[in-house]
Amino acid sequence: GDSVTQMEGPVTLSEEAFLTINCTYTATGYPSLFWYVQYPGEGLQLLLKATKADDKGSNKGFEATYRKETTSFHLEKGSVQVSDSAVYFCALILDTGRRALTFGSGTRLQVQP
C-alpha cells in the first residue's frame, strides 16, 4: 500500500542552522506531495506542496523538491528560527481519485536560541 516514511525526531538545532527533514514515499501511480506543520496547540497547516516530478514547493523559507527517481520530498530551510519549532508531517495524495491524505509519522523540530 501507499506509505510515507519520515526521519525520526526530535531534531534539535540552534537558531540559524540549516534544516533537512527527510521524507520518502511508496505509492502506486503518481502522487502529489505535501508538507504540513503543526505548531503547539494548533491544527495541521499546509506548508508547501508539489504535484509532479521535479516541482519545487516553497513557503516561508522552506523548500522541498519532488524527486521521482529517489521517491523523496525532503524538507529544507537555510536558516531556522525559534518560531519554526513545530511538528512537520510529510504526506501524499494519489492522482487516482482517492482524496485521503496518507501521512508520515511526523518529525518534531526544536530550535534553540
Partner 1 sequence: EPEVTQTPSHQVTQMGQEVILRCVPISNHLYFYWYRQILGQKVEFLVSFYNNEISEKSEIFDDQFSVERPDGSNFTLKIRSTKLEDSAMYFCAGGLLGETQYFGPGTRLLVL
Which parts of this chain interact with partner 1 (CB under 8 A)?
32, 34, 36, 41-46, 49, 51, 89, 91, 93, 98-106
If we measure between CA atoms, which residue out of 7, 13, 18 comes closest to residue 90? 7
Closest contact distance (angstroms) between CB of 89 and partner 1 is 7
Query: Phi/psi at 110 (nearest 5 deg)?
Result: -120, 120
| Choice between 43 and 113, CB closer to partner 1 | 43
| Choice between 67 and 103, CB closer to partner 1 | 103
| Choice between 73 and 102, CB closer to partner 1 | 102
Closest contact distance (angstroms) between CB of 7 and partner 1 is 14
Closest contact distance (angstroms) between CB of 17 and partner 1 is 26
The Cα–Cα gap between 42 and 58 comes to 21
Closest contact distance (angstroms) between CB of 15 and partner 1 is 27
Task: Check residue 40 and give left, alpha or beta (phi > 0: left; psi -120 to 50: alpha).
Answer: beta
The Cα–Cα gap between 19 and 11 comes to 9
| Choice between 79 and 105, CB closer to partner 1 | 105
Beta bridge pairs of residue 57: 64
Work out the number of other CB atoms within 10 angstroms of the CB of residue 46: 12
